[in-house]
Structure 1
Amino acid sequence: MYGLLILNDPSQAVIDIVFVHGLHGGRTKTWTKDDVLWPEELLPGDVPSARILTYGYDANVAHFWSRPADNKIDTFSNAFFSQLTNNRSEVDATNRPIIFVAHSLGGIVVANAIVDAATNSYGELSSCIRGIIFLGTPHKGSNKAKWADQARKFMTFFKSTNSELLKDLDEKSEKLAKIGDSFPTLLINRGKQSDTRIEIVCFYEGQPTVSGMIVDEDSATLPGYDKILLDANHSEMCKFASSTDSMYRQVVGYLIKWVKDFSKPIERQKEGGRNAYFHGTNYGLQQYSNTGTQTNNFGVR
């Protein structure tokens, strides 16, 4: 199934956590082990104040490695942010902080959406993005040859025999190389101010599949951000059946911390001789001055 699916919706939610699957995955099966869909059955117990959603799309390997004119990553990213924006508007949650949890090339869909949001109508949504957990997401930078090599690994893993897809992989990797160049630049720019920085942790696989390591440590990590080994292969690193699973505790530990951090009221420095502060999340549902005058999120009355 495609599109957004709400897994948990507490009445007093203060943050949105959105899951995005990778190649040949699904909005529920990617996160399910032994019939336990952990974002729905385990995670609410650890982050009860979070609304939890999962997003599904047509994650065929050919859509990621197609000729530039046929590449569908932009389509997936735009549809994702469009649906998420509309959903948040419907429930009056447009200022609520967002955390993404992305597996494999689902992380590229998220990264591309964030890059595109900087230049289109999703700026308000983009400003609310506070954290991303990458699980086995390749970050190959702007090197098309490295992306082509990654394509061969995925095609071997998924037993793809598409001979047309194998031709001219360097050219077909052009879109991924552009994302690999643009996303780190965006992170640097947003990291210049604490209230726009996106917190990131990169988890990488510790066990090989029958096809070997699909996304190795070097590719799965970003310089300057936490990197954590998970003792599982590429497919299993995103599936947990118990809240006592050590890998689950590693992943959820970041979510617990971020939910607390991103939900705290923050102090604003004095402006024009008045103290201003935000009440609610870091991005503020309402802003007040010490005169008691209510203003909007940008301090305009």
Structure 2
Amino acid sequence: MVQNGILVALWRVVHMFNKEAALKALCVNIIVNISLFSQLHHQIFQSGWIGLLAEFFGPQHASLNLAAGKALANMDQNSRKCGVYDRSVYLLHPFMDVIFVHGLLGGVGWTWRQSELLGMNSDYSECWPRDWLPADIPDLRILGVDYATSLSHWKSRCPDDARRSAINSRADQILLSLKLAGVGGRPIVWVGHSMGGLLLKQLLVNASKSTDPELQNIVRNTKALLMLSVPHDGSSVATLNLPARFLLLPSVEVEELRKGSNILDNLNLEFKNLLLKFPIAIVSLVETKATLVQPWGIEFKFVEPNSADLLSAGEVHYLPVDHFEICKPLNRNSFIYQRLIKLILGVRVGSPPKDLVLTLPEHK
């Protein structure tokens, strides 16, 4: 049946009879049965069904989301290690995506480690989002965006790296990866640290401009942002005159982080316009301590408070931590972690809190 084109036929039926809920449910359940066979997963991907399943997995499709979630889980290699889900068993979670985006020179394996200030005991977490969030809120899918950055072009691997590392191009690359992961089919809470927050803003702006409905769903289903020391109007780190001229040939990322960058000014304007169209809750946590820069042994403020509060939207907290500590909670009782928990739970029970959403001023 698959070789004879049933996947494409079912895809067309769903689009032709978009208002026929029972017929769409039948088509999705057929896909569920096909997804039981791993050798057919490539054909399902090629047929365009992944985007539909991701869309149907959202809470707005009550009659389809369980079956869609089952099919997606069957095609998830990690989920298959725990078994597959046939017509008798439904995957009841996750309900929401929480996506972490690291900053300059960061990474999933380093940025989101627990703070070492209290020591590395048996409870120490190498990745606190992975270890803590599922225990406190079980029905989450937790994703970490990983990408390479550099402070200097001397680290670039090929001439094309400069073009690809521009924030706009990088945002488009990440959007495609998120689309493949099925992001956009369920509510989303984002966590961005430093440059990661800028990248997050850019990818949401790009998604809102896209003609691809799957990418548009990413911004439509974005419910909240937790911004961790994000330099909305740039950072003085981009103009540091460090010993050995380490920044003699700055990378594209550092150039775009400079104070007064036209790229950041335009991004701020576009993002504020986006916030007026979509009800997105924003919580900003801002560092107030200088960060010790090694190996030179100097202290420097990566993000000034006025830069991290430039959005003029949502809630802002100034914390006595440095640029690296702000993304590394001491423990699960940390204000940083508890504010994220509160934000996620607020989104989970309904619409984003109105006091955290940018609204148009009333006309008198």
Q: TM-score, normalised by structure 1?
A: 0.68
Choose between structure 1 and 2: higher strand proportion: 1
How do 1:1-301 and structure 2 match up within 5 A? 11-33=92-114, 34=120, 35-36=124-125, 37-62=127-152, 72-88=166-182, 94-120=184-210, 121=212, 122-140=215-233, 147=234, 149=236, 151-152=238-239, 161-165=246-250, 173-188=261-276, 190=277, 196-210=278-292, 211-221=299-309, 222-262=311-351
| Percent of paired sites with the same residue | 25
Contact 1:131 / 1:258 at 8 angstroms: preserved in 2? Answer: yes
| Number of residue-to-residue matches in the alignment | 236
Contact 1:20 / 1:102 at 8 angstroms: preserved in 2? Answer: yes
Moved runs in structure 1, 4+ residues, more than 3 A?
A: 8-11, 68-71, 147-150, 166-174
C-alpha change, 1:164 and 1:116, in structure 2 (3 Å) is same
Shift of 1:209: 1.1
Shift of 1:124: 2.0
Q: Structure 2 unaligned runs (5+)?
A: 1-75, 80-90, 115-119, 154-161, 293-298, 353-364
Choose between structure 1 and 2: higher helix proportion: 2
Shift of 1:246: 3.5
C-alpha change, 1:100 and 1:208, in structure 2 (3 Å) is same
For 2:289 and 2:190, locate their aligned partners in 1 and report how far apart those are by CA, in whole Å.
Answer: 24
Query: Bigger relative contact order, structure 1 or 2, given CA contacts below 8 A and separation 6+?
Result: 1
Shift of 1:129: 0.9
Contact 1:200 / 1:225 at 8 angstroms: preserved in 2? Answer: yes
Shift of 1:230: 2.5
Contact 2:224 / 2:343 at 8 angstroms: preserved in 1? Answer: no
String of CA shifts for 1:154-177, please: whole Å, max 9, x gaps. Answer: x85x99713133999679933233
Aligned twin of 2:8:
none
Q: For residue 24 of structure 1, give the secondary structure of its aligned residue in structure 2.
A: coil
Contact 1:38 / 1:241 at 8 angstroms: preserved in 2? Answer: no
Shift of 1:244: 2.1
String of CA shifts for 1:12-65, please: whole Å, max 9, x gaps. Answer: 1111000000011001210102451110111112221111111100122358xx
Q: TM-score, normalised by structure 2?
A: 0.57
